[in-house]
């Protein structure tokens, strides 16, 4: 561990929060000399303090210990390139328009890579009253079901949550061509163009 890098990061994050060394120290029941020592690279926070420090500075413990924050580059605004994450434990759905480290239930989630649906896997899409009517014969049991549908165009994403033992029958406003995505709890993320 590079104490100087860690100290520099703590200093930078503390300043971003408009906190003095004393304010940070008081919040952690420490002396301001301890914070000064860390920021000068003469010591490092004890492992028992890292959770509280990460919460106060709004940064992951991993970043504190590496002494470095990695910023993402600006990503253009095409919502069709959105990244999808699903927690395998609770089913939480998270989206990101750029690179991100996403965690849920204390685990880092992997980005789902959408697979192009075969003709057999595609959802049924019909035009009904200027909307797309989407349905499927997909299994919808507690152990195997489609968790969500998403329709992405260049500037918007609409997500429709699905539940076990419900038939998939939904309507989406027909607003140009886009990408229809869905997540199967056993087989992953699929897409088809409509």
| Domains located in the chain, CATH noted | 3-66 (1.10.260.40), 79-193 (2.60.40.730)
Summarised one tens digit per residue, pLDDT across range 90-140 is 999 999 988 888 999 989 999 999 999 999 999 999 999 989 999 999 989
Alpha helices in the chain (DSSP H): 3-16, 21-27, 32-39, 50-57, 61-66
- Is-contact 181 84, C-beta < 8 A? yes
What whole-number percentage of the chain has pLDDT above 90?
74
Please state, in angstroms and rounded to a whole number, the distance separating the CA atoms of residues 194 and 191. 10
Which pLDDT value is given to residue 76?
A: 59
Across 5-145, the runs of DSSP E, i.e. the strands, are 83-86, 93-96, 103-104, 107-108, 115-116, 124-128, 131-135
Please state, in angstroms and rounded to a whole number, the distance separating the CA atoms of residues 24 and 43. 16
Summarised one tens digit per residue, pLDDT across range 146-174 is 999 999 988 889 999 999 988 999 999 88
**Do the bridges between strand 83-86 and strand 93-96 make them parallel or antiparallel, or are there none, so unpaired?**
antiparallel
Mean per-residue pLDDT of the chain: 91
Model pTM?
A: 0.72
Please state, in angstroms and rounded to a whole number, the distance separating the CA atoms of residues 186 and 41. 49
Element (H, E) at 193: strand 188-193
Q: Residue 75 above 70 pLDDT?
A: no
């Amino acid at each position: 561990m590079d104490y100087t890098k860690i100290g520099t990061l703590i200093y930078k994050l503390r300043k971003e929060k408009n906190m003095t060394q004393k304010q940070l120290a008081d919040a952690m029941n420490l002396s301001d000399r301890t914070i000064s020592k860390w920021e000068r690279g003469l010591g490092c926070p004890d492992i028992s303090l890292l959770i509280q420090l990460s919460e106060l500075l709004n940064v992951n413990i991993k970043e504190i210990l590496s002494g470095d924050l990695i910023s993402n580059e600006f990503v253009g605004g095409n919502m069709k390139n959105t990244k999808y994450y699903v927690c395998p434990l609770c089913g939480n759905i998270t989206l990101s328009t750029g690179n991100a480290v996403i965690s849920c239930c204390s685990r880092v989630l992997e980005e789902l890579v959408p697979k192009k649906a075969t003709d057999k896997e595609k959802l049924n899409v019909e035009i009904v009253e200027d909307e797309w009517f989407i349905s499927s014969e997909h299994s919808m049991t507690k152990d195997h079901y489609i968790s969500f549908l998403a329709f992405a165009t260049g500037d918007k994403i609409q997500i429709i949550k699905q539940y076990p033992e419900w038939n998939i029958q939904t309507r989406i406003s027909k607003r140009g061509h886009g990408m229809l995505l869905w997540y199967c709890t056993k087989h992953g993320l699929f897409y088809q163009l409509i």
